A and B are shown apart, each in its own frame.
Chain A
């Protein structure tokens, strides 16, 4: 039987033999194992989403822990030890920063700042309340001899208590999204968790330090309290500083786009590390850094870099979190546990109790200060949604060894985490749904009611947006003025307070151009249903259609599934496991766009309505000559610091009906100020040319009715360079006043760059 000989058949003792085939495992061991573990965790994640229903009912954290348990079980039976990855350093230096950066970066700034007081209140005071409450109660329990845990000192109790007070919002937020809990609650939970982490870590370090001391004096306590504030504030200031430095740096990265994401990450991480160096709150530092820099950076940085940054942050944060939960499962099986019925069960009980009490009391105190007070349902959501997670586990695991009952604490933490994640995580959805059940029976509502109600909701939402945010904070207004006048000039490269709408329409135009090219023979010549609508009407029998009740139920279902929900500013940003996705906004804008075009063409198709149509047009934000010199902007915070929504056009290939088949009813507005537009010829052949050219509706006005979209060559630039920055004021030719829509501001065809 032929055998593979590893070595030379004649080994000479002193001679080194050249092996044909070697294995050198120790060399690659560490990176190899890390990769395998991460891969395993990722497979687990992929696996869950294969069957969609699971993730709806069971939060992802549960699933990850379960898989971890299984793997742990396997390892245990093989008598393997899990890799010693969860050392203090590994956790605090490598695994925690991405998670926190993820939360901080995707925090919706405006609602956050509006609710800042509440968030801080719940985070800081709430955590303190929880820690101290649980600590004292547990200490009281310790005194009872039956449980045999008298040796745990007060400090150690506090330490344990602070560990199990750290809440994680992940599962809760997903449920909140689906139930459409109102924004305020959402942002409070999100913000609370974030700062909660910071506070917990600070407390942890504090109590750790205190626990090591034999005697605690009053002076020490005050010092510690003072230290607490120093740490918190220090972290904030530090973070802000780094945020500004980052923003400033990105101002100069115009020519080196590739390293832009790197700069963001480096600075954030640096903020974290240096904060650790000075022993101030590194979590606060990195969060505040992310918050401050996001606004400016996203204006300076190219589109691709922006996407890259977001994706990478999400990816790394998600991996980190996945790993931690996974390890939780593994470690549960493989470590030596110290079990103590009394202590652990009481710990669990107190954790739940104190959180509930805390929320109740704190809400009562803060409600008068809020414009929209929390009702009982909200409080329940807040309290019940306090799941413990990654941070608790890591903190427990990295307890120093001089704590006598370390194993007990670890076991206790694991129990609390598993209980909250599994039991609370799975039941919160049905409970919230139950509490949200409307009093009126759905089917008694007529179709009429549904439609009109939704219309009214949209109206109110629109008017609210129109009114803008009435900030309650004098300082916020001051800051915004300061921002616009000074900061933006320093930190942003091309400081044009361009309306984000304009950027959006640019994108849309481009998108439409691509689609037009793709469906050249299809959509364009398809007669708009305008015709069909009218013909229908003519032919429509006067006879009443009979609607079966099943039809009506179907309609109800259709409406409830397809009617656009009211804009929810926070929702898309806080789902921890996915990136923001804006299908609705995309659809609405696309529809506007296509209806815009239709209305132009419709004039020619439909004789009888032409008279009416001609006067109607769209109140578009016209005017701005769209900065032909500068690279196109993505949707960005403009002026009033809105949350930007990234419209991810790369994925827009799904075969939806692009053409909206209704014309938007438009208001007669007879004068519009417009860019001095050129009269461009419609150039059919140019449609052949693909690429990232911008399309625009050329304005051969006077009701020519052609589809005047074409791809301009470089030559057809009539928009004078002079009116870059001007809000266009030049009045139109009178003859063209009928179709101001045709006057789209057009922009230079760009050379392909970061697109």
Chain B
């Protein structure tokens, strides 16, 4: 398929990208098409309002957080590489990937997936989920019938369950520990990104 090869060549550093993320060439091309479709003005990078134009994302209770996750602190644009790398978090785990001893953890490892989820809570990036942040997420995910008191009890209970060092916040380790039983690979993977 000549067209796919030529498209691939147009993307800079595509080899490195494929290596780092583990996406197949076909996926990279599809993602590139999607990137271009989102980038309506053809600037080569995406801005927040490009993401905002996706209607379903706006209907998602945590849509803005998801969008925010693409933008690393201080940057206001997302280039293709970053886009692909973030999406790589959602690849199903390659079970048969050879474990090279010194290679960096693949982006879609369980730990990295958890980190992604963690950062959705932890907006101020202090490495901990405070009660406030938890409340905000809860508020976003729960319907309006839930009163504030109920919300706060739930938040308190959540912290109580997870917080082991009793500092009233949930650190990443505590987060990871509390989700031991959940199959993160299954929950945080998108089938068609395999």
Chain A contacts to B: CB under 8 angstroms: 371-372, 446-449, 451-468, 470, 499-501, 504, 529, 532-534, 536-537, 540, 542, 544-545, 547, 551-552, 555, 558-559, 562-564, 567, 584-585, 587-589, 591-592, 612, 616, 618-623, 638, 640, 642, 645, 656-657, 660-673, 727
Contacts and interface: CB of A to CB of B under 8 A. Distances in A.
Interface stretch (B4-12, B13-21, B30-38, B96-104): B30-38
Contacts of A552: 157
Interface in B82-134: 87, 90, 116-117, 120-121, 123-124, 131-133
Pairs of residues from A and B, 4 with the lowest C-beta to C-beta distance, nearest first = A621-B52, A619-B48, A667-B68, A662-B139
Nearest to A623: B49
Contacts of A461: 56, 60
Contacts of B60: 458, 461-462, 465, 567, 588
Given A563-B141, A670-B76, A673-B49, A458 B148 contact: no
Nearest to B152: A536
B157 A555 contact: yes
A536 B90 CA distance: 37
A592 B142 CA distance: 13
Given A564-B143, A660-B139, 15 more contacts: A447-B157, A447-B161, A448-B178, A461-B60, A465-B60, A562-B142, A563-B142, A589-B58, A592-B58, A622-B49, A623-B49, A645-B59, A667-B64, A667-B71, A669-B48
B135 A664 contact: no
B144 A501 contact: no
A552 B142 CA distance: 17
Interface string B157-194: 11011100000100000000011011010011111110
How many B residues touch the partner, as a band? 35 or more
A665 B135 contact: no
A361 B34 CA distance: 37
A455 B53 contact: no
23 contacts: A451-B138, A452-B117, A453-B182, A453-B187, A455-B62, A457-B187, A458-B61, A458-B141, A460-B90, A462-B62, A466-B51, A468-B34, A533-B135, A542-B168, A547-B160, A555-B153, A589-B58, A591-B140, A642-B55, A662-B135, A664-B64, A667-B68, A727-B40
The winner among B56, B136, B157, B181 for most chain A CB atoms within 10 A is B56
A637 to B, nearest CB: 10
A547 B156 CA distance: 9
Nearest to B167: A542
Contacts of A463: 66, 87, 90, 190
Nearest to B66: A462
Contacts of A558: 142, 146, 150, 154
Given A453-B187, A545-B156, A562-B146, A446 B49 contact: no
A216 to B, nearest CB: 49
Given A456-B117, A462-B60, A661-B148, A448 B49 contact: no
Contact of B55 (A500, A537, A673): A500
A555 B162 CA distance: 16
Contacts of B64: 592, 618-619, 664, 666-667
A459 B62 contact: yes
B157 A544 contact: no
Contacts of B188: 456, 459-460
Contact of A499 (B53, B67, B74): B53
Contacts, number: 226
Contacts of B37: 468, 640
Contacts of B133: 665
Contacts of A563: 141-143
Nearest to B150: A558
Interface string B38-55: 001100000111011111
B182 A533 contact: no
Contacts of B62: 455, 458-459, 462
Given A467-B34, A619-B48, A665 B136 contact: yes
B2 interface: no
A630 B132 CA distance: 43
Nearest to B139: A662
Nearest to A659: B144
Given A451-B141, A529-B148, A499 B123 contact: no
B65 interface: yes
Nearest to A727: B41
B187 to A, nearest CB: 5
A238 B3 CA distance: 37
B192 to A, nearest CB: 6
Contacts of A584: 59, 143
A660 B142 CA distance: 11
B101 to A, nearest CB: 30
A175 B176 CA distance: 37
Given A460-B187, A619-B68, A466 B135 contact: no
A638 B40 CA distance: 13
A495 B146 CA distance: 42
Contacts of B76: 669-671
B58 A501 contact: yes
A591 B142 CA distance: 11
Nearest to A609: B132
Contact of A669 (B71, B121, B135): B71
B110 to A, nearest CB: 12
Contacts of A619: 48-49, 51-52, 64, 67-68
Contacts of B178: 446, 448-449, 452
B190 to A, nearest CB: 6
A198 to B, nearest CB: 31
A462 B190 CA distance: 11
Nearest to B154: A555
Contacts of A470: 30, 192
A372 B157 contact: no
Contacts of A465: 54, 56-57, 60
Contacts of B157: 447, 547, 551-552, 555
Contact of B189 (A446, A449, A460, A669): A460
Contacts of B146: 558, 562
B141 A454 contact: yes
A604 B38 CA distance: 36
A467 B47 contact: no
Nearest to B116: A459
Contacts of B22: none
Nearest to A740: B48
Nearest to B159: A448
A462 B178 CA distance: 24
A666 B68 contact: yes
Contacts of A499: 53, 55
A621 B192 contact: no
Contacts of B55: 499-501, 504, 638, 642
Nearest to B163: A544
A470 B87 CA distance: 14
Nearest to A583: B143
Nearest to A569: B56
A722 B54 CA distance: 26
B63 interface: yes
A500 B64 CA distance: 17
Nearest to A505: B58
Given A452-B117, A467-B31, A562 B143 contact: yes
Contacts of B142: 558-559, 562-564
A532 B63 CA distance: 26
A589 B56 CA distance: 11
Contact of A672 (B49, B65, B150): B49
Contacts of A640: 37
B158 A451 contact: yes
B132 A533 contact: yes
B117 A455 contact: yes
A528 B49 CA distance: 27
A657 B144 contact: yes
Contact of A621 (B49, B135, B154): B49
A533 B192 CA distance: 41
Contacts of B73: 668
